[in-house]
Amino acid sequence: MGTLRTLLHGIVDYAGLFPPAGLDLGPAVAEYSEHRVGPHRWALGRFVAPATRLDAVGQAAERCFPTAAEPWRLTGLLGTDLPGDIAAVRRFNDAYHGRAVVDAVELRAATPADIGRAVEIIGPGLETYVELPVGSDLDPLIGAAGERGARAKVRTGGITPDAFPAPADLLRFIRTSVTARVPFKATAGLHHPLRGSYPLTYAPDSARAPMYGFLNVFLAATFVASGLGEPEATALLTESSPAAFRFSDATVEWRGHALGEAELGRARREVATSFGSCSFREPIADLQTLGLL
């Protein structure tokens, strides 16, 4: 299925250190290292870690870093001490040059001025994602990110029901990013391919809530970039039926709408780039259950 592979290539940024998995550093490094050589490595993206823990990541993963193959790629999460965090990124990259590289960073910002100051401190050479409050006035925020050469980030869920944005708010974020031509990534709550009610954590007694599917979010972004209207995009974002989707080598179809492989590839590069997930196994297993892999 060429279009499915194009849609999902490098899409999962592995965030096993974060809830609900919340793995210790050693197991998280081992998981990512295993996935890098597994049969579905083509869907694996970066390893996500706080910038304050990069020194520890290097120590834990050094024996896993390749000496000749493609280096590990990492995302550093920046906190309130931006100069200190960027120094940690540079220190890591110097120490593991050719074997591992932090080539992307993520941070939160609530105003255009905050975005401008952050991008100035970060400097060139790092793919920068700015997590924005989805319920706010997004036009000036996404516009400021784009003007500064940064990208946007949206939180699509969490471990409590109130962490999931309303479909209208999420679609507004997607459409604003598409209109401004600012690529975005998503994080949290996208363990499953399709919209449905799922446990919020891995605890046996976990509460359940409606979650977005990563196929819903990324196909909605792709179809919106190709001109899909508001009612149809909302329906796609909340679609829960596997039968509504059909992937082939040439096209992906959803309820009478179709896109070709070239359009999907362009959208992944220019519109919706990746999503963070504390599990790589779960998204892959669900795709297999649906018969897509």
As to burial, measured by CB atoms within 10 angstroms (0-12 exposed, 13-18 middle, 19+ buried), residue 201 is middle
CB 231 within 8 A of CB 51: no
What are the two backbone dihedrals, phi and then psi, of residue 14, each rounded to the nearest 5 degrees? -80, 120
- Report the alpha-carbon distance of residue 89 to residue 215 in Å, rounded: 32
pTM: 0.95
Confidence of residue 201 (pLDDT cuts 50, 70, 90): very high
Our measurement of the distance from residue 253's CA atom to the centroid of its chain's CA atoms, rounded to an integer in Å, reads 23
Q: Does domain 2-289 have CATH number 3.20.20.70?
A: yes
- Report the alpha-carbon distance of residue 12 to residue 15 in Å, rounded: 9
Task: Please give the structure tokens belonging to residue 3.
Answer: 């279009």
Our measurement of the distance from residue 192's CA atom to the centroid of its chain's CA atoms, rounded to an integer in Å, reads 13
pLDDT of residue 251: 95
- Report the alpha-carbon distance of residue 139 to residue 137 in Å, rounded: 6
Task: Please give the structure tokens belonging to residue 284.
Answer: 């892959």
Confidence of residue 68 (pLDDT cuts 50, 70, 90): confident
pLDDT in tens, 202-216: 999 999 999 999 999
pLDDT of residue 89: 98
Select from 85, 72, 98, 178 the least CA-distant residue to 128: 85
pLDDT of residue 145: 98
**Mean pLDDT score across all residues of the chain:** 96
Does position 164 have pLDDT exceeding 90, yes or no? yes
- Cβ–Cβ contacts within 10 Å for residue 72, how many? 22
- Between strands 208-211 and 196-199, the pairing is antiparallel
Confidence of residue 67 (pLDDT cuts 50, 70, 90): confident
pLDDT of residue 98: 94
pLDDT in tens, 83-110: 999 999 999 999 999 999 999 999 999 9
pLDDT of residue 224: 97
Confidence of residue 176 (pLDDT cuts 50, 70, 90): very high
Confidence of residue 1 (pLDDT cuts 50, 70, 90): low
Q: What is the 3-state secondary structure (H, E, C) of the chain?
A: CHHHHHHHCCCEEECCCCCCCCCCHHHHHHHHHHHHCCCCHHHEEEEEEEHHHHHHHHHHHCCCCCCCCCCEEEEEECCCCHHHHHHHHHHHHHHCCCCEEEEEEEEECCCHHHHHHHHHHHCCCCEEEEECCCCCCHHHHHHHHHHCCCEEEEECCCCCHHHCCCHHHHHHHHHHHHHHCCCEEEECCCCCCCCEEEECCCCCCCCEEEECCHHHHHHHHHHHHCCCCHHHHHHHHCCCCHHHEEECCCEEEECCEEEEHHHHHHHHHHCEEEEEECCCHHHHHHHHHCCCC
Q: What is the largest CA-CA distance in the chain?
A: 52
Select from 201, 104, 100 the least CA-distant residue to 160: 201
Which residue is associated with the tokens 């891995």? 202
Share of the chain above pLDDT 90, in %: 97
pLDDT in tens, 127-160: 999 999 998 899 999 999 999 999 999 999 999 9
